[in-house]
Amino acid sequence: MENIKVTGSLIWYYYICKREVWLMAHGIIADQENPNIDLGRFLQDYAYQRDKKEVSLGHIKLDILQKKDGQVIVGEVKKTSKFAQSAKMQLAYYLLELEKNGIAGSGVLMFPKEKKREKVELTDEMKKELDFVVRDILRIVYEPRPLPPKKIHYCKNCAYSEFCWS
């Protein structure tokens, strides 16, 4: 397996299901007809249309990148705040990657269905946690097999459900 780059999606799924981290990193595609994937695509395409969309910076993809009053603001669009911790750490990872490239900024999580926004500032505590998480993701990804499936409350709506439980 070639050199893996940790992405925001892997950070996101790390907080939800570590098995999914391995599956995604190994190119095992989830059920693309899953209604949750469709809804996510719809929100990605139609929510916040006036804002700059999906900017690629190396191995990361930012949903929204703006500059207001000289400050860089990264926006991350999610369909629900149910996964707020996961979303917050994904956004913190983007802010950390920007910081490593000399760009200071702040973030905002956007939940269009809930008409809710949450500001995110990168802290030293988040940096330490992300350092651990990135190393643990790489450990998981370089395992020869995925972790065994573990029933959690997210499984019933997961696009990998058939893969894990058939």
Domain ranges of the chain: 8-165
Which of 4-13, 113-122, 128-137 has the largest mean confidence? 128-137
CATH number of 8-165: 3.90.320.10
Instruction: Tell me the CA distances in angstroms from 152 to 17, 29, 91, one per residue in order.
Output: 8, 20, 24
- How does pLDDT run across 42-101, given as a tens digit for each residue? 445 555 444 546 677 888 888 888 888 888 999 998 888 888 999 999 999 999 999 999
pTM listed for this prediction: 0.84
Residue 138 burial by CB count (10 A; 0-12/13-18/19+): exposed, middle or buried?
middle
